[in-house]
Amino acid sequence: MKKKKLKSRRKSNSHSHHEPEPSNPSDFSFNITRVAVAQICKSVGFGRSRVTALNTLTLVATKYLETLARSATSFSGAANRAQPNLLDLINALHDTSLHVGFKGADTLYGDDCLLKSAVLEDLSGFVSSTDEIPFAKPIGRTKERETEGLKPSPGGNLQRGRHIPEWLPEFPDLGNKEQSIKRINGETSWENSNSVLGHQTGEFEEKRDGNNGGKLSKERRKVKFWIKGDKRENLNRFSGNNLFSQSVDEEPEVEHKKSKAKQTLVYRRRKKVQ
Amino acid sequence: MNHKQQSNDGKHDDDSALSDFLASLMDYTPSIPDELVEHCLAKSGFQCPDVRLIRLVAVASQKFVAEVASDSLQHCKARQAAGAKDKRDKQPKDKRLILTMDDLSKSLREVGHFESIDFVYGVNVKQQEYFADNPSTGMDPASRDE
């Protein structure tokens, strides 16, 4: 039954480090969280703690943090936003503290402003009443350590814009441009195909800049589509008799013979539905 | 959102109180360091340039841990008070308050489940009293049909 002293870590520095230095970022963050949790427990009044209990509480605290973050992110995503804001965070706090309960939990989604919520008042009370517990050990060069565990970034064919967060992995290495263009079946990407003007010049991004984009090599008439189908077709039912056909085309790229062949494709379920 | 006149005035007061609170957050240094919080948030997809929100999350987590810890403290003290004899001095007991799994599991049960999908440890944290090969070990053969 292991116990751990929650007293000042300065004195117990020497013999508390039984574990080897953590090799991956998750161990590192876990150890930091454990120190912080131990400090909180000590401030509450515990003098000692069992190691397993401390580890469990650390995991619970981490999960709480992540739950808050996920709820806030999903709230912001539900509102078509990429970055959570204060209101998303307040809703997330509500969600996590519903079990314990707080004042005003019964009229949560009514007309009251979210900013007046009781969880914020509780938090402000907590902040004003509790003394600061500065973190015991200095976290030197945390970010450098974290990036050691991540894959080193290659030269990077594609430049990441600022819209891509740092914590996402790098793009896969595409190799040379020629290698990426040639595919197994001889397919080429649309921008590099012969039907697009200017496919030999410039890079992909340059085409996007202009308003013209890729131009078609030949002038074509405006293409019209109509949908042929039985009058009995019902939106809910399975209607397989829709035909898409082009009205006019200069070049017979879509053969009308093919479209006629498709007419014979009758989905047999349709008869049974009636 | 209501934009009535009456609630607007009240809203201004609350907004000022809230902005005061957020400003005071910057003075208060939470126990959980900012880099750690940022790392955990980034892992869950929360990305925000506003430092005050990160502090808010840190303070909320600190409050949560403090509540769980204080609940376990009360359980621990209640257990000691129940088992204390009159002759014993209470002083050495204060130094010996130990956070155990039993107290912790009781406090966590009160806090409740989190709705995160992979919250494996959940609430029902208790020591395994014994280990068995499969769930039906030791059950009556009649009820093993399930």
Judge whether A76 and B50 are in contact, CB under 8 Å: no
Q: Which pLDDT value is given to residue A80? A: 92
User: Per-residue pLDDT for A173 more than 80?
Assistant: no
A70–B45: do the CB atoms touch at under 8 Å? yes
Structural domains of chain A sorted by starting position, each given as residue range(s) with its CATH number in brackets: 19-129 (1.10.20.10), 222-274 (no CATH)
B94's enclosing H/E stretch is helix B91-95
Lowest mean pLDDT among A140-154, A172-186, B14-28: A140-154
- State how far the Cα of A68 lies from the Cα of A66, in Å rounded to an integer: 5
Question: CB distance from A95 to chain B under 8 Å?
Answer: yes
Determine the residue among B8, B11, B16, B48 to mutate to test chain A binding: the one whose Cβ has the most chain A Cβ atoms within 10 Å: B48
| B98 SS3 class | strand
Determine the residue among B31, B72, B107 to mutate to test chain A binding: the one whose Cβ has the most chain A Cβ atoms within 10 Å: B31
B31–A135: do the CB atoms touch at under 8 Å? yes
A43–B66: do the CB atoms touch at under 8 Å? yes
Say which residue the tokens 């970022």 belong to: A25
Which contacts of A204-209 are long-range, i.e. CB under 8 A and separated by 24 or more positions? none
> Higher confidence at residue B70 or residue A126?
B70
B18–A44: do the CB atoms touch at under 8 Å? no
Report the interhelical angle of B51-83 vs B5-27 (nearest 10°): 80
Judge whether B37 and B57 are in contact, CB under 8 Å: yes
pLDDT per position as a tens digit, A47-86: 888 898 898 889 889 988 988 999 999 999 999 998 898 8
Q: Which residue of A has its CA nearest to B114?
A: A96
Say which residue the tokens 């039993």 belong to: B102
A62–B40: do the CB atoms touch at under 8 Å? yes
How large is the ipTM? 0.71
Q: Which pLDDT value is given to residue A147? A: 43
pLDDT per position as a tens digit, A142-166: 444 444 434 444 444 456 677 778 8
| B116 SS3 class | coil
HEC letters along chain A: CCEEECCCCCCCHHHHCCCCCCCCHHHHHHHHHHHHHHHHHHHHCCCEEEHHHHHHHHHHHHHHHHHHHHHHHHHHHHCCCCCCCHHHHHHHHHHHCCCCCCCCHHHCCCCCCHHHCHHHHHHHHHHHHCCCCCCCCCCCCHHHHHHHHCCCCCCCCCCCCCCCCCCCCCCCCCCCHHHHHCCCCCCCCHHHCCCECCCCCCCHHHHHHCCCCCCECCCCCCCCEEEECCCCCCCCCCCCCCEEEECCCCCCCCCHHHHHHHHCCCCCHHHHHC
Q: Which pLDDT value is given to residue B29? A: 83
- Strands A48-50 and A225-228 come out as unpaired
Average pLDDT (A31-35) is 91
- State how far the Cα of A98 lies from the Cα of B108, in Å rounded to an integer: 14
Task: Find chain A residues with C-beta within 8 A of B10's C-beta.
Answer: 116
Task: Find chain A residues with C-beta within 8 A of B44's C-beta.
Answer: 66, 69-70, 73
Residue type at B113 in one-letter notation: H
The residue ranges of every structural domain in chain B are: 15-88+95-144
Number of A to B CB contacts under 8 A, please give it. Answer: 202
pLDDT per position as a tens digit, B38-76: 989 998 888 888 888 898 999 999 999 999 999 999 988
